[in-house]
């Protein structure tokens, strides 16, 4: 798939998520099969560009290209200035945020709130495209289906963005009012695809290879963007890629491979954030990865007690060494899923779902944390 001057290796993208898709996470997803990743949103307010948070978000050191930076704001001239500033600091693609449903963003009329003010939204698009065009940098747009059920204006806004020179449009299949509640709908995404000439990316509830194939078929989208389903499970990109290519799934990842990926991920967090913030950030990301695994709760408790990078590394390494001895392939998390007829994770379910289907999984997961290298409290 081509995006401006950039040839993307595949059509599976990492969604921008504030507090999640930092540089270490994007790099991990790219190593595990994602073809493209967009940064956490960066404010258009110049007074905040020199804060530690924004400096880290704008640090793309070692990141595989193309480097895509999402910017957020409400003033066209500030958004244009932010686009130029980020290009000067390594951005190769600029993404405009009109999809974030967070209240603190929408209360400032940024993010998906811009969909309620189409003249302002289009003024921002025009300004950013004009700022990026002389530098040969494509502009993309991420939005929702609309503000609420009565105001689904994604098709109208997408047509205008296409005419203004936007190079790609991503649509999350919910309204702003929904937030992340309920289910994504794909009819609006299909309508957007039919209405514009540029590539369209479908986003929302793409959490299994089967759902990925279904969404592509239902929408005709050129690519898929995956967000929450990759938290703690970044290898979902390679699973989907193989399934779309061959109709088959790879086996679960080897537990020792997962250990290596997460140890590298932990090191990357400490390198980017430093000792204090790095320890807190690593706890969050490692916690997602071990949620529901045997002994995972005990490991999370242990990591919450550790502020030192080497101590966190030793605890994580010991946990996975013991886990790999019992489960050479990563086991299905106990509290994560029901499994459909294909063996795919189909929905979030409580642990009792496994118990209802038989005792083996429950018995395996009932082992104490100390049996997986985590000291007993």
Checking if the pLDDT of 57 tops 80, the result is yes
Closest CA to 39 of 236, 55, 178: 55
Alpha carbon distance 35, 93 (integer Å): 14
- Among 36-45, 129-138, 139-148, 345-354, the least confident range: 345-354
Q: In what order do the strands lie in the sheet with 12-14?
A: 36-37, 12-14, 223-226, 200-203, 168-172, 139-144, 93-98, 68-72, 42-43
pTM of structure: 0.86
pLDDT of residue 56: 87
Read off the pLDDT of residues 30-45 as tens digits, 9 standing for 90 and up.
999 999 999 998 988 8
Q: In the CATH hierarchy, which top-level class contains the domain 2-246? A: alpha beta
Mean pLDDT of the residues in the chain: 86
Per residue in 267-304, pLDDT (tens digit) is 999 999 988 888 889 999 999 999 999 999 999 999 99
How far apart CA 127 and CA 164 sit, in angstroms, is: 10
Give residue 110's pLDDT band: very low, low, confident or very high (50, 70, 90): low
- Catalytic residue list: 100
- Comparing 49 with 363, the larger pLDDT belongs to 49
pLDDT for residue 147: 84
DSSP assignments along 34-53, one per residue? -SEEBPPPEES-GGGTTSHH
Average pLDDT over residues 113-136: 94
Number of H helices, E strands in the chain: 15, 13
Q: Directed axis angle between helix 255-273 and helix 23-31, to 10°?
A: 150
Average pLDDT over residues 326-347: 60
Does a cis peptide bond (omega within 30 degrees of 0) precede residue 374?
no
pLDDT tens-digit series, residues 203-216? 999 999 999 999 99
Nearest one of 229, 178, 177 to 203, comparing CA atoms: 229
| pLDDT on residue 354 | 30
**Residue 48 pLDDT greater than 90, yes or no:** no
Alpha-carbon gap, residue 119 to 27, rounded angstroms: 36
pLDDT confidence of residue 70: 94
* Spans of all domains in the chain: 2-246, 255-372
* Helix or strand (DSSP H, E) at 347: strand 345-347
């Amino acid at each position: 798939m081509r995006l401006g001057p950039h040839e993307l290796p595949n059509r599976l993208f990492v969604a921008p998520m504030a507090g999640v898709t930092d540089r270490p996470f994007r790099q991990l997803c790219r190593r595990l099969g994602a073809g493209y990743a967009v940064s956490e949103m960066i404010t258009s307010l110049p007074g905040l560009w020199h804060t530690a948070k924004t400096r880290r978000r704008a640090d793309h050191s070692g990141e595989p290209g193309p480097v895509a930076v999402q910017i957020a704001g409400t003033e066209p001239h500030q958004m244009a200035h932010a686009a130029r500033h980020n290009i000067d600091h390594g951005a190769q693609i600029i993404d405009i945020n009109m999809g974030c449903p967070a209240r603190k963003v929408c209360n400032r009329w940024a993010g998906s709130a811009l969909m309620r003010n189409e003249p302002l939204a289009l003024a921002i698009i025009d300004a950013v495209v004009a700022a990026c065009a002389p530098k040969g940098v494509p502009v993309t747009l991420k939005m929702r289906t609309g503000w609420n059920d009565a105001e689904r204006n994604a098709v109208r806004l997408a047509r205008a963005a296409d005419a203004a020179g936007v190079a790609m449009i991503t649509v999350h299949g919910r309204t702003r009012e929904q937030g992340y509640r309920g289910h994504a709908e794909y009819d609006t995404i299909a309508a957007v695809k039919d209405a514009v000439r540029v590539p369209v990316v479908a986003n929302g509830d793409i959490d299994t290879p089967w759902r990925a194939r279904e969404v592509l078929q239902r929408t005709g989208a050129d690519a898929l963007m995956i967000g929450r389903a990759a938290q703690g499970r970044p290898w979902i990109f390679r699973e989907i890629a193989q399934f779309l290519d061959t109709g088959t799934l790879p086996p679960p990842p080897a537990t020792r491979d997962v250990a290596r990926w997460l140890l590298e991920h932990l090191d990357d967090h400490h390198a980017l954030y430093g000792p204090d913030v790095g320890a807190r950030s690593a706890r969050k990301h490692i916690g997602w990865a071990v949620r529901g695994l045997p002994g995972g709760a005990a490991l999370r408790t242990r990591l919450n007690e550790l502020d030192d990078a080497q101590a966190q590394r030793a605890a994580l390494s010991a946990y996975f060494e013991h886990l790999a001895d019992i489960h050479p392939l990563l086991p299905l998390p106990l509290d994560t899923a029901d499994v459909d007829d294909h063996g795919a994770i189909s929905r979030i379910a409580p642990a009792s779902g496994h118990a209802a289907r038989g005792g083996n999984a429950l018995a395996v997961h009932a082992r104490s944390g100390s049996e997986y290298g985590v000291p007993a409290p």
